[in-house]
Amino acid sequence: MSDVLAITEHRRGELRDVSFELPTACRELAGESGDVHLAVIGGDVDAFAAELDRDGVDVIHTVAEGEEFNHDVYTQVVEALVAALEPRYVLAPHSVNGLDYAPALAQRLGYPLVTDVVACDLDGELTVTRELYNGKTEAGVAVESELALLTIRPGEWEPAEGAGDARIEAFDVELDESAVGSTVTGFEEVGAGDVDISEADVLVSVGRGIQEEENLDIIFELADALEATVSSSRPIVDNGWLPPDRQVGQSGKQVTPEVYIAIGISGAVQHVAGMKGAETIIAINDDPSAPIYDIADYGIVDDLFDVVPALTEQFS
Ligand SMILES: Cc1cc2nc3c(=O)[nH]c(=O)nc-3n(C[C@H](O)[C@H](O)[C@H](O)COP(=O)(O)OP(=O)(O)OC[C@H]3O[C@@H](n4cnc5c(N)ncnc54)[C@H](O)[C@@H]3O)c2cc1C
C-alpha cells in the first residue's frame, strides 16, 4: 500500500513541466519499495507516455478520453484508477486544472486534501510543508491519514531525468457520459504580444521599484543596449503598463534565461517561482534585505535610477 499515483497535466498538445516533476515527488513518497504510477488522461496519450517514461517511473496508465482537460472526465477516471490501484497517495499539480478537480476528487474518495505542497517528509507519518504570508512563514502539516490527495506546487521538485523502463498500460474506464457536463470549445490568445519571454536568453525584468509607467523607458533602453527582452513582476502587469505575456512568476510565465536582471523587484516567492531556474541572476535593488538577494548571483544595492542609465551607457 505504499504505491503513489500522480495525475500528469498537458495542454494544447504539450505536457506541462510539472508533469516531469511529479515522478520525483512520487518517488520521495513511495520510497524504494513502492511503485510510482503516472496517469495521462486525454490527448495523444501514447506520445505523452513515451515522453514521461523517465527514470524511477514504474507504470504509466494511459486513458484516451478527450483531447483537453475536462473536470468530469478527470474525476471519473482518477476515481476509477484509485479503485483499481489503491495507491496510498494521489498527487496532482497545484495548477488551474489540478485545483479544479482535486477538491471534487478528495470528496469522492474520502481522502483528506492538502493543497500547494512545497515539500514532503515521510518518516512513518507524512508531514508536508506549505508556505504562508507570501513565503515568509512555512507551515508543517501532519497528514493524519493513511491515504491522502496532495496538490504540489510546480517548480518545487526537480524534473525526473534519464530514460526509464516503465510499463505503459492502457486503462479502460466506462465513463458515465451523462455526468460530463462541460467541454473545452477552444483557446484564444488574450493580449498575446510579439515576444515570448520564455525563449529569451537575456531578460531585463522590471518591478514596482520603477514607480511610474513613463520610467519604463530606461528599462527598454537597457534592454536595447543588451539585446535583451523586457519582462516584469506582476504589479507592472496589474497596472496595465506591460501586457500579461511579460509577467514572470507563479501566475505568469516560467523562464530559464542565461541571464536574468531583476530591477526594482523584491523577490516575492510567487515571482521567484518563475525565474529561479535562470543561470545567472543579477539584482538591482536599493534594499539590501530584499529577498531577491537570497537567490541573486550578483547584486547592485543602489538606486535603480542611477544604476540602469549607467549600465545602458556602458553597454551602448
Ligand atoms: C496567488 C498569487 C500569485 C502571484 N503571482 C505572481 C507572479 O506570477 N509574478 C509576480 O511577480 N508576482 C506575483 N504575485 C505577487 C507577489 O506576491 C508580489 O506582490 C510581487 O511579486 C511584488 O512585485 P515587485 O517585486 O515588483 O514589487 P515589490 O514587492 O513592491 O518590490 C519592489 C522592490 O523595488 C525596490 N525599490 C524601490 N525603489 C527602488 C529604487 N529606486 N531603486 C532600486 N530598488 C528600488 C524595493 O526595495 C522593493 O524590494 C502573486 C501573488 C499572489 C497572491
Spans of all domains in the chain: 4-179, 197-314
**Would you say residue 191 has pLDDT above 90?**
no
Name residue, grid cell 510510482. 36
Residue of the CA atom closest to atom 23 of ligand 1: 233
Residue of the CA atom closest to atom 19 of ligand 1: 268
Average pLDDT, integer, range 248-268: 95
3-state secondary structure at position 227: coil
Report the nearest atom of ligand 1 relative to the CA of 252: 8
**Would you say residue 1 has pLDDT above 50?**
no
179 CA → ligand 1 middle, Å: 43
Looking at residue 183, its pLDDT comes to: 86
**Would you say residue 38 has pLDDT above 60?**
yes
pTM, two decimal places: 0.67
Separation of first and last alpha carbons in the chain: 63
What is the identity of the amino acid at 196?
Answer: D
CB burial readout 95-127, b (16+ within 10 A) else e: bebbebbbebbbeebebebbbbbbbbebeeebe
Report the nearest atom of ligand 1 relative to the CA of 287: 47
Question: What's the CATH architecture for 4-179?
Answer: 3-Layer(aba) Sandwich (3.40)
238 CA → ligand 1 middle, Å: 11
CATH fold match for the domains 4-179 and 197-314: yes
What is the identity of the amino acid at 190?
Answer: V
Average pLDDT, integer, range 94-117: 96
208 CA → ligand 1 middle, Å: 6
Average pLDDT, integer, range 55-66: 96
Residue of the CA atom closest to atom 11 of ligand 1: 233
Residues framing ligand 1 (Cβ under 6 A) = 134, 207-209, 233-235, 247-252, 264-266, 268, 270-271, 274, 284-287, 290, 303-305
State which of 208, 237, 239 you would mutate to test the pocket of ligand 1, scoring each by most atoms of that ligand within 8 A of its C-beta.
208
Strand ranges for 75-166 from DSSP E: 89-93, 113-117, 119-123, 125-132, 137-143, 148-152
CA separation for the pair 85, 81 (Å, rounded): 6
State which of 210, 271, 301, 305 you would mutate to test the pocket of ligand 1, scoring each by most atoms of that ligand within 8 A of its C-beta.
271
CA separation for the pair 167, 36 (Å, rounded): 11
Looking at residue 127, its pLDDT comes to: 97
**Would you say residue 310 has pLDDT above 70?**
yes
Average pLDDT, integer, range 195-207: 94
Identify the CATH assignment for 197-314 out of 3.40.50.2000, 3.40.47.10, 3.40.50.1220, 1.10.3720.10: 3.40.50.1220
233 CA → ligand 1 middle, Å: 6
DSSP string, 181-199: ---------SS--S--GGG
93 vs 32, more confident: 93
Q: What is the pLDDT of residues 75-93, one digit of tens each?
A: 999 999 999 999 999 999 9
Average pLDDT, integer, range 36-51: 98
**Would you say residue 37 has pLDDT above 90?**
yes
